[in-house]
Amino acid sequence: MTSEEILRTLQEAIDARDPERLIGLWDDSALLIGTSGDGRDRAGLLRYLTALATQPESLRWEWSETVPFHEGDGELGFAAFGEIVVTKGQEERRAPIRVTIFAVETPDGWRLRQFHGSVPTQW
């Protein structure tokens, strides 16, 4: 699995607006830190991802660069940089975004174990 494939799979789950599909991408022990909250434990992760998948706005990321920081047997860590685009009706908001992701291969496929996304400017 490549960083680009992981990002594409994540975007497809966001586009589907299906909380279960999105939640299914995370490992059971995952940690998520996002711009608007966090998932420090499984309950928090489920709340955050459900809210993300069901929000009224549409969300997409336009990634321009990925930087690997770890590659091992069944493990991939990388950072990605780009823009987050949030749309509601005809209104569109854009902001720079950066993310670090650590993914692991499990018997059920690749899962995110750590995700830290942030918008480095005032949103």
Strand runs labelled E in the chain: 26-34, 37-39, 58-72, 75-88, 91-106, 109-118
Domain extent, residue 93, equals 3-118
pLDDT band, residue 122 (cuts 50/70/90): low
Question: 86-118: per-residue pLDDT in tens?
Answer: 999 999 999 999 999 999 999 999 999 999 999
Judge whether 20 lies within some domain: yes
Domain CATH for 85: 3.10.450.50
Judge whether 28 lies within some domain: yes
What does the pLDDT read at residue 34?
87
pLDDT band, residue 120 (cuts 50/70/90): confident
Alpha-carbon distance values, 69 to 21, 37, 80 (Å): 27, 25, 11
Distance CA 104, CA 100 (A): 14
What is the tally of structural domains in the chain? Answer: 1
Judge whether 123 lies within some domain: no
Question: 31-54: per-residue pLDDT in tens?
Answer: 999 887 888 999 999 999 999 999
Judge whether 65 lies within some domain: yes
CB neighbours of residue 27 within 10 Å:
17
Distance CA 10, CA 39 (A): 17
